[in-house]
Chains A and B, each alone.
Chain A
Amino acid sequence: MAGFSMRPCGDFRTTYRQDTRIFDTVFVRNAALLGIVATALIPFVLDGYYVNLFIQISYFAIAALGLNILVGFTGQISLGHAAFFGFGAFASAWINNTTGIPVLLSIPLAGLMTAAVGLLFGVPAARIKGLYLAIATLAAQFILEDFFSRANWFTGGSSGAAANPVNVFGYEIYDDFSFFYVCLFFLVVMYVLGANLMRSRDGRAFVAVRDHYLSAEIMGINLTKYRLMSFAISSFYAGIGGALYGHYLGFVSAEGFTILLSIQFLGMIIIGGLGSVKGTLMGTVFMVLLPEVMEAGVSVMSVFDWARTTAVTDGLAYIKEMAIGLAIILFLIFEPDGLAHRWQQIRAYWKLYPFSY
């Protein structure tokens, strides 16, 4: 039957508890734990550039998971995610600067503040769906962008806001090396919370609202409540991601949170797989690393004489951008269900080799 997870022969479940685990098998769970440990070793093995890339991946991945909860799981399109991401960055800096609450605490507080703002902009979502909702969230994007450039008391206006570095027990984290672990901590915690949410009551309710809102209502699910809740949770994740971003750069300015970033967030979850926690991470890694891979490709090309002509070297930047666009389009054509689905197929292939069924 379709939809069955690939399980090794002899892996019988004797309790319901075994059947509700996040990871299918012990092997997969151990592999994931090993993956976290291996990631934790990155700063010791690879140079600072890769550490920087990982930090980028982690704050984007947290925000993207929020968007996936909203778009992928609850089925509500949002084009304003970057604005919430930005709001989180400003909020955390503001909380820390004005009240002196330590950064590690101001990050979750900024998440809560962003959730409240998300709730506000989510109100139209209780009434409208689909393209109309997309336009309503677009309004959120522009209103918040305008707010960032005007609210001097909150964002520092056009000059931006300074964000203090993370301070752990009096020890200030200035360098990437230590901030990496702060990011890893938040990444793991937020993803575990997300995965748990999705296997409990309210996570199922989100998917129910997405798949068939009429029968969800008959099942006792309050549509307005869950649509708003989804907006709030989504904004909470965006706020956390944004706050990490702000404290990493040390400076937050309004220019970074345009609709382009919103679209990139959508790109991450579409490529990763709508409605998949694991896919969100995959999609973010893909979107962050793709330009790097393209860069590497370009430098490989430069060994050829023709690639060193002025015409080519001048156009390389554009070629790179186009190649990224092409990769995304090809992805949508050949793997519309996202990387998470492709991963499932690869697993099935190895499991069943040499048979295809």
Chain B
Amino acid sequence: MLCNTLTLFREFGTQILINGVGRISAIAGAKQKDTDTGNAESGSLGEPPRLRTGEASKAAQVREDIDAMTSHDPILQISDVSLVFGGVRALTEVNFAVHPGELFSIIGPNGAGKTSMLNCISGRYHPTSGSVHFKGQDVTGLKPNDRAELGIGRTFQNLALFGHMSVLDNIMVGRHHLLKNNFLTGALYWFSGAQKEELEHRRFCEDVIDFLEISHIRKATAGTLSYGLRKRVELARAVALRPDLILLDEPMAGMNLEEKEDMARFIIDLNEEWGMTVVMIEHDMGVVMDISNRVMVLDFGRKIAEGTPDQVMANAHVRKAYLGEDSDGADDTDEKVA
């Protein structure tokens, strides 16, 4: 695991960074040493995390943006959430808030409790103690299906599409809580207005399909698609819910670079154009640090850091969680890897 997470950090220096409009800017490998030795401030990476505005004082701009966002009431407020399975403490007193319009990432080593955190928000798990507030309302004990109506959508780490349905039907299921027809009006399709309603919502689904560029597979059976496309269909299904808060559990896992670029672009568009607040778990540090407004780091179920990507990168606890205890020098860690 150490090797794995270490490479992630090393990659951050060398990897191709994806910016907001889909262009690619390669950061020279020369920066890597800085990152490893712990001198990583925003300047050391050459570019601030958000490479979108094209202005000189981007870092300052980003801070202002975030200040403006965080001045609102949070859309999601997690207070002292703990989750215990028998003797395993999956989460211990985690606190954080996500503000409307934010793109918030949760990172951490494997088994840190990231997905458990997401499950607490989406209702799959109910926290052992603590509370989850969404739009000021306490949703801690609410069932998952009631949360869709409130405006929480999510995708899963392991694909969770309806395998035997067409892509289109998968996406239409996302409209479930917005459709009014029931089994009676549905059976009387032509006479009850169900047809009219179905077609109206179909129009919206087609917009989602256009946006995610999956129109060529709309009639294909979801289970027959390739991995990258399935991930995209899953995102489409979550978007069709028209959520205010969308939870993405490793949206880029197992994708190649091109697919990751597309996915990053979709996530940014969802955030900026569709106005969705995004909470994302992702292991690809390049993407996380590049597109997130703020990042939270979990380790062994505890929050060890939270802040802008550059703050998090510079945090000593984070470095310890990712690199281990004895990272007193870059050469040292390099040798360990070797």
Q: Find chain B residues with CB under 8 A from A20 CB.
A: 195, 198-199, 202
CB–CB B164/A218 < 8 A: no
Q: Provide the bound-state CA to CA distance between A262 and B189, in Å.
A: 30
CB–CB B162/A215 < 8 A: yes
CB–CB A17/B169 < 8 A: no
- Contact indicator per residue, chain B 130-158, by CB within 8 Å of chain A (1) or not (0): 00000000000001111111000110100
Q: Which residue of B lies closest to A223 (CB)?
A: B145
Residue from A2, A4, A5, A217 in contact with B145 in the complex, judged by beta carbons closer than 8 Å: A217
With an 8 A cutoff between CB atoms, is A229 at the interface?
A: yes
CB–CB A219/B174 < 8 A: yes
With an 8 A cutoff between CB atoms, is B181 at the interface?
A: yes
- Shortest CB–CB separation between residue B155 and chain A, in angstroms? 9
Task: Given A1-B217, A193-B188, verify A211-B144 contact (CB < 8 Å).
Answer: no
Residue from A1, A196, A211, A229 in contact with B219 in the complex, judged by beta carbons closer than 8 Å: A1
CB–CB B217/A220 < 8 A: no
CB–CB A196/B189 < 8 A: yes
Residue from A202, A220, A229, A275 in contact with B177 in the complex, judged by beta carbons closer than 8 Å: A220
Q: Provide the bound-state CA to CA distance between A356 and B199, in Å.
A: 35
Q: Find chain B residues with CB under 8 A from A217 CB.
A: 123, 143-145
- Shortest CB–CB separation between residue B175 and chain A, in angstroms? 8
- Shortest CB–CB separation between residue B267 and chain A, in angstroms? 18
Residue from A17, A216, A220 in contact with B241 in the complex, judged by beta carbons closer than 8 Å: A220
- Shortest CB–CB separation between residue B120 and chain A, in angstroms? 13
Task: Given A17-B199, A215-B156, verify A203-B176 contact (CB < 8 Å).
Answer: no
Task: Given A20-B202, A193-B188, verify A218-B176 contact (CB < 8 Å).
Answer: no
Instruction: Pick the most buried of A214, A218, A221, A223: most chain B CB atoms within 10 A of its CB.
Output: A218
Q: Find chain B residues with CB under 8 A from A221 CB.
A: 145, 173, 176
Q: Provide the bound-state CA to CA distance between A126 and B239, in Å.
A: 28
CB–CB B173/A204 < 8 A: yes
Within 8 A of B (CB), among A207-261: 207-208, 210-212, 214-223, 229, 233
CB–CB A201/B186 < 8 A: yes
Q: Which residue of B lies closest to A19 (CB)?
A: B202
Q: Find chain A residues with CB under 8 A from B161 CB.
A: 211-212, 215
Within 8 A of A (CB), among B236-262: 237, 241
Q: Provide the bound-state CA to CA distance between A199 and B156, in Å.
A: 26
CB–CB A233/B162 < 8 A: no
Q: Provide the bound-state CA to CA distance between A199 and B169, in Å.
A: 9
Q: Provide the bound-state CA to CA distance between A4 and B123, in Å.
A: 36
Q: Which residue of B lies closest to A75 (CB)?
A: B164
Q: Provide the bound-state CA to CA distance between A3 and B199, in Å.
A: 22
Q: Which residue of B lies closest to A220 (CB)?
A: B148
CB–CB B189/A200 < 8 A: yes
CB–CB B189/A214 < 8 A: no
Residue from A207, A216, A229 in contact with B183 in the complex, judged by beta carbons closer than 8 Å: A229
Q: Which residue of A lies closest to B206 (CB)?
A: A16
CB–CB B187/A193 < 8 A: yes
With an 8 A cutoff between CB atoms, is B182 at the interface?
A: yes
Q: Provide the bound-state CA to CA distance between A207 and B176, in Å.
A: 12
Task: Given A2-B221, A4-B219, A219-B174, verify A196-B148 contact (CB < 8 Å).
Answer: no
With an 8 A cutoff between CB atoms, is A71 at the interface?
A: no
Residue from B123, B153, B165, B188 in contact with A207 in the complex, judged by beta carbons closer than 8 Å: B165
Q: How large, as a class, is the contact surface on chain B?
A: 35 or more
Q: Provide the bound-state CA to CA distance between A208 and B188, in Å.
A: 21
Within 8 A of A (CB), among B187-213: 187-190, 194-195, 198-199, 202-203, 206
Q: Which residue of B lies closest to A17 (CB)?
A: B199
With an 8 A cutoff between CB atoms, is A61 at the interface?
A: no
CB–CB B198/A205 < 8 A: no
With an 8 A cutoff between CB atoms, is B172 at the interface?
A: yes
Q: Provide the bound-state CA to CA distance between A258 and B202, in Å.
A: 45
CB–CB B188/A16 < 8 A: no
Q: How large, as a class, is the contact surface on chain A?
A: 35 or more
CB–CB B186/A196 < 8 A: yes
With an 8 A cutoff between CB atoms, is A316 at the interface?
A: no
Q: Find chain B residues with CB under 8 A from A19 CB.
A: 202
Instruction: Pick the most buried of B122, B153, B176, B219: most chain A CB atoms within 10 A of its CB.
Output: B176
- Contact indicator per residue, chain B 60-90, by CB within 8 Å of chain A (1) or not (0): 0000000000000000000000000000000
CB–CB B169/A214 < 8 A: no
With an 8 A cutoff between CB atoms, is A157 at the interface?
A: no
Q: Find chain B residues with CB under 8 A from A215 CB.
A: 156, 160-162, 237
With an 8 A cutoff between CB atoms, is A31 at the interface?
A: no
Q: Find chain A residues with CB under 8 A from B194 CB.
A: 196, 200-201
Q: Find chain A residues with CB under 8 A from B189 CB.
A: 196, 199-200
With an 8 A cutoff between CB atoms, is B337 at the interface?
A: no
- Shortest CB–CB separation between residue B188 and chain A, in angstroms? 7
With an 8 A cutoff between CB atoms, is A102 at the interface?
A: no
Q: Provide the bound-state CA to CA distance between A16 and B198, in Å.
A: 9
- Shortest CB–CB separation between residue A351 and chain B, in angstroms? 16
Q: Which residue of A lies closest to B196 (CB)?
A: A17
Q: Find chain A residues with CB under 8 A from B123 CB.
A: 217-218
- Shortest CB–CB separation between residue B203 and chain A, in angstroms? 7
CB–CB A211/B177 < 8 A: no
With an 8 A cutoff between CB atoms, is B28 at the interface?
A: no
CB–CB A208/B162 < 8 A: yes
Q: Find chain A residues with CB under 8 A from B124 CB.
A: 214, 218
CB–CB A233/B183 < 8 A: yes
List 19 additional contacts besides A1-B219, A204-B173, A218-B123; criterion CB under 8 Å.
A1-B224, A3-B224, A4-B219, A16-B202, A16-B206, A196-B187, A197-B183, A199-B198, A200-B187, A202-B183, A205-B173, A207-B165, A211-B162, A211-B165, A217-B123, A218-B122, A218-B147, A219-B177, A275-B164
Mind listing 10 A-B residue pairs with CB under 8 Å?
Answer: A1-B220, A3-B221, A3-B224, A16-B202, A199-B189, A200-B194, A201-B182, A217-B144, A218-B123, A220-B148
6 closest A-B pairs by CB: A220-B148, A200-B186, A220-B177, A211-B162, A3-B221, A196-B189
Interface residues of B (CB under 8 A from A): 122-124, 143-149, 153-154, 156, 160-166, 169, 172-177, 179, 181-183, 185-190, 194-195, 198-199, 202-203, 206, 216-217, 219-221, 224, 237, 241
